[in-house]
A = this chain, B = another copy of it.
Amino acid sequence: MSLGLVTVHGDETESQCAYSDVMARWQPDAQSRLENAALELFAERGFEAVSAAEIAARAGLSKATFFRHFPDKPEVLFWGRDLLADTFRQAIADGAPDASPLELVRAAVLAVAPVFDADRHHHAATRQRLIASSPTLHERAVLKRAALAQAITDALQARGVTGGTAELAGLGGAAAFDAAYERWAASRTYRGFAAFARRELDRTVHAAASLS
């Protein structure tokens, strides 16, 4: 994690300020214990073959505890997306008054960089392989990306960005985040998320300019 953190501190003031808040909500707890147990079991036996009760048992928790945290089995790999959406919303609300929509999206995506530490990186490639191999998990990933896009769009609209522009920025921001996450997860040695995010955000800015 320190590598990503140092990079973020170097040139992203928003991320630096939000660091302790963001991380406090991402500490290991029942949800991440259940996620880690699920990743181990799914990797061993495949997503379909493992029950919620078995995930709970591997994590040393009850099946009832599992369903207190997650509405269904796929959700055990996606709980972090709700926290991402909250972090995006907060970063956009806190952005500079004169920032453009894409500058606000940049601040939002970079604000979540501290979350993607070496611990999360350890499981990220397994998680991506599972999502690619399971239609159920792939569908859930598509729905979660749409929810992230909507969170960005809503936060931009709350700052007065008009509907169409806010929607396109939300769609582009969520796509850039997902592309950065995918490349970060595919990296064999751990490197900070911020550099991946910056590259994809730069591509999005370039894409917007070359549409018409």
A residues touching B (Cβ–Cβ < 8 Å)? 100-103, 139, 142-143, 145-146, 162-165, 167-169, 171-172, 175, 203-212
Residues of chain B contacted by A203 (CB below 8 angstroms):
163-164
Question: A168 contacts which chain B residues (CB < 8 A)?
Answer: 168, 171-172, 175, 204, 207-208, 211
Q: List 21 A-B contacts (CB under 8 A).
A: A100-B211, A101-B211, A102-B212, A146-B146, A162-B210, A163-B203, A164-B203, A164-B204, A164-B206, A164-B207, A165-B210, A167-B207, A168-B168, A168-B172, A168-B175, A168-B204, A168-B207, A168-B208, A168-B211, A171-B171, A209-B212
What DSSP secondary structure best describes chain A's contact surface?
helix
Bound together, the chains give a CA A206 to CA B143 distance in angstroms of: 27
The distance in angstroms between the C-alpha atoms of A181 and B110, with both chains bound, is 35
Q: How many copies does the complex hold?
A: 2
Contact partner of A143 (CB less than 8 A), chosen from B102, B103, B142, B211, is B142
Extra A-B contacts (8), CB below 8 Å, given A162-B207, A165-B206, A168-B171: A101-B210, A139-B143, A143-B143, A146-B146, A163-B203, A164-B207, A168-B168, A168-B172
